[in-house]
Amino acid sequence: MARHLITSAIPYINGIKHLGNLVGSQLPADLYARYLRARGHEVLFLCATDEHGTPAELAAAKAGKPVAEYCAEMHAVQAKITEGFGLSFDYFGRSSSPQNQKLTQHFAGVLADQGLIEEVTEQQVYSNADGRFLPDRYIEGTCPNCGFESARGDQCDNCTKQLDPVDLIDPRSTISGSTDLEMRETKHLFLRQSKMKDQLDAWINSKADWPVLTTSIAKKWLHDGDGLQDRGITRDLDWGVPVKHGEKDWPGMEGKVFYVWFDAPIEYIASAQEWVDAGQGTNWERWWRTDAGADDVRYTQFMGKDNVPFHTLSFPATIMGSGEPWKLVDYIKSFNYLTYDGGQFSTSRGRGVFMDQALEILPADYWRWWLLSHAPETSDAEFTWENFQSSVNKDLADVLGNFVSRITKFCRSKFGEAVPEAGTYGAAEEALIADITARVAKYQEHMDAIEVRKSAQELRAIWAAGNEYLQAEAPWTTFKTDADKAAAQVRLALNLIPLYATLSAPFIPTASQQMLKAMRLPDAIWPDDVPAALGLLSPGHAFDVPEVMFAKISDEDREAWSERFAGTRD
C-alpha cells in the first residue's frame, strides 16, 4: 500500500463552473482518487475554493453583499455541487481561511529572508473611470505575440505567453470597458523567480514521465523570449491576505494584499491543516513535510493547461525557495480545453452547460461517463449534444445497463432470484474469463498511468465482452435443451455484475452502488484475482432485479437541451 496526495485546481469563487472546468481538474482527480482507494492505497484528496482578488470583490458588489459573506455562500454552493457530482474530496477548504492567511504570510517572510523577495516601485495601470488600480487580469487588449483580441494583462489564454499590461495593444478596463487608463506609481513585492531558473529547469527536466502538454508549457515559460521573469506577488486591493513578513508588519506594504496566484496554491497545504483543525483528519505534516514522513508520499496534481505555468514554476519556486522541507509535486496531469458545440462556454452569454444545470437534467453518472471518456488529454475536445446522446445511449444504456437487466431478468424467469447451482463451465466460459482477466490488467495499467480515455475505452470493452458472450451463447436458447449448461452460463454472467460494479466505481459510482445493492453485496472488492472474483457469487446467493439503470436520452430531450443551452452567439 502506498500513500497518495492528490489535489485538483482550485475553482474560483465567482459563480458556478462549467463542464470544461469540471473535466479539466476535479473530475479526473476524483477518478484517480477513487481508483487508488479501491486498490487499497491511502489517499488524501484535497481541493478548495479560490476566494481572493478583484473578481470576488466585483461579484460580491454585483450581488449586493459584503465580499466575505458572498464567498462563504458561494463556497457552500460549490461544495454542494461537488457532492452532487460525487467528487470524493477528503476536504474542500477555503483560501480565505485563517490557516492559509498565516501560511501565506509565513512563506512570504521566509522567501524574503532567502533573498527571493524584492520591493519594486513600478508604474501600474490606473483606470480613471473606475477610480482604482487595475489588476492585470482586469485589463484586456490584443496580444502582441499572437494577435488574440482578448488577452489579459497577465497572460494570453490563446498562446499562454506571460504578459504585462503595458504589452497589450489597445488596452481597456474589463470592469467598465473604459480606455481612459494611465500609469501611476506604486510599490509592490516581486518573487525573484529568475534567480531559481536553473533549479526549476533541472527539476522539470528530471520529470521524464510528465505529459508533453505539461512540460512543453513549463519550458516555454522558462526559455522563450527573455526567459523566466520575476513576478509581482502583491496587489492594491482590499480583499485578500494582508501583506506581512511572517507575523510582522511589512513597512511600505500597508493596505496591500498578496496576489491571488501567490496565496491560492499555498491553500493546498492549508486545506490539509483545515482538515485536521476541523477534526476530520490527523497529522497533516506527514503529507506535506518531508521531515515528518512525506518522503514516501506520491503527490499528483490535476489541472487545465492554463494553470500549468503557476504549478510548474511559481508555486514550486515558492516551495523550493523557502529552503524548508515541503513536499514537491511528483506528477502533474494537465488537460486541454473542452469546447461547447463549435465555440466556447460563456457565462455572460448563457452558452454551454454549467455544473448545477447539468445535475438538474440528468444524474451525475451520465455526465461523469461522457466527460471522462472524452477527456481532452492530447488535444481539445468538443461537447455536442449528438455525441453525448449517442455515448450515453450506447455505452451506458445499451451495453452496461442492458447486460445487467437482461441477465438478472432471465435468471429470475428460469431459475429464480438466486445464482443457479447446476452446470460446469466449458470452453466459451473459460475463454471469457481469460479475456476479462487480460482486459482488467490493461485497464489497471491505463488507470495507473492516469490515461483517462484509454481507461474508459478498456472499461467499455470489458462491459461489451459480457454482452457479446450472452449474444453468442444465448442461454435462453440453451435452456430449452440443456438447463444445466444454461445455469452455468447464467452463473458466470451474474458474477460479471459485481466485477463490473467494482471496475466502474471510479467512473460511475452511483451505478456501481446500484449494481452491488442488486447483488446484495455491501462493498466492492477489487479483483486482484479475476478468475476468483468471477466466483464471488456462489450458487444460491440471492439477488434482486434492479430498476432501469440508465434511461436513454430521447431526440426530443436532446433538441430541447441544445436549444436551452445555446446562449447568444457573437
Could you give the C-alpha distances from 17 to 81, 130, 243, 341, 349, in angstroms and in order? 10, 27, 29, 17, 14
Q: What is the pLDDT of residue 208?
A: 93
Contact 336, 59 (CB under 8 A): no
Q: What is the pLDDT of residue 132?
A: 83
Binding site annotation covers 411? no
Phi, psi for 153 (deg, rounded to 5): -75, -10
What cell numbers appear for 292 in the block? Answer: 515528518
> Which residues of the chain carry a pLDDT beneath 70?
568-570
* pTM, entire model: 0.92
Binding site annotation covers 143? yes
Question: DSSP E strands: which ranges in 291-429?
Answer: 297-304, 331-335, 338-340, 381-383
pLDDT in tens, 110-139: 999 999 999 999 888 999 998 888 888 789
CA 271, 273, 274, 276: dihedral to nearest 10 degrees?
A: 130
Going by C-alpha positions, the residue among 23, 135, 15, 21 that lies closest to residue 375 is: 23
pLDDT in tens, 265-296: 999 999 999 999 999 999 999 999 999 999 99
For cell 522539470, what's the residue? 204
537 CA to centre of own chain: 35
Going by C-alpha positions, the residue among 234, 224, 152, 161 that lies closest to residue 191 is: 234
> Partners of 521 in the beta sheet?
none
DSSP 21-66: HIIIIIHHHHHHHHHHHHTT-EEEEEEEEB--SHHHHHHHHHHTS-
> Partners of 43 in the beta sheet?
4
For cell 475463454, what's the residue? 431
What cell numbers appear for 423 in the block? Answer: 452446470
Question: DSSP E strands: which ranges in 102-179?
Answer: 117-127, 132-133, 139-142, 151-152, 169-173
CA gap 512, 544 in Å, rounded:
15
What cell numbers appear for 565 in the block? Answer: 443551452
Domains of the chain are 3-104+261-381 (3.40.50.620), 116-249 (2.170.220.10), 385-533 (1.10.730.10)
Element containing residue 184 per DSSP (H, E) = strand 181-191
For cell 488507470, what's the residue? 447
Q: What is the pLDDT of residue 569?
A: 43
550 CA to centre of own chain: 24
Binding site annotation covers 347? yes
Tell me the torsion sign for CA atoms 518, 521, 523, 525. Answer: negative
CA gap 247, 98 in Å, rounded:
13
Contact 308, 217 (CB under 8 A): yes
What residues have CB less than 8 Å from 438, skipping those under 6 apart? none
What cell numbers appear for 476 in the block? Answer: 435462453
Element containing residue 446 per DSSP (H, E) = helix 427-448
